[in-house]
Amino acid sequence: MKLNLNKIHHIAIICSNYERSKKFYTGILGLEIAREYYRAERDSYKLDLKLNDHYIIELFSFPSPPNRLSFPEAAGLRHLAFEVDNLDIELNKLEKAGVSHEGIRIDELTNKRFT
């Protein structure tokens, strides 16, 4: 028996620096703010972000979140992928904004370029 899933509704991310993360997702990636909440009882923020009018990311902040292992093969969220029309142009924009990346690689299964 399979579930009748239509699409991924959203992804929840816990950040370590709310203002820096908010600036990255909105100012650099260009996501739009759908809603922003401050929860005083938890001293935390919740930021709902959308892309092309589709709600996709919940960004949470907490005062002292535990560190997550940074190894790509560790359990948990591995990466968040966005589709773009021109990878080189978008990477150039990231570099101009001071955002580092791993460099372009070729997927061995699809032969598509990615980073």
Taken in order 80, 46, 49, 22, the sign of the CA dihedral is negative
Q: Within 13 Å of residue 24, how many CA atoms lie on the same side as its CB?
A: 14
pTM for the structure as a whole: 0.76
Q: CB atoms < 10 A from the CB of 64, how many?
A: 7
Pairing, β 32-39 against β 44-51: antiparallel
Q: Which residue has the higher pLDDT, 106 or 77?
A: 106
Query: What is the residue type of 113?
Result: R
Q: What is the mean pLDDT of residues 75-100?
A: 85
Does the structure show a pLDDT above 70 at 88?
yes
Q: What is the pLDDT of residue 58?
A: 92
Domain 7-64: CATH class, spelled out? alpha beta
CA distance 22 to 27: 8
Here the tokens at position 10 are 């959203």
- Which ranges in the chain are annotated with CATH 3.10.180.10? 7-64
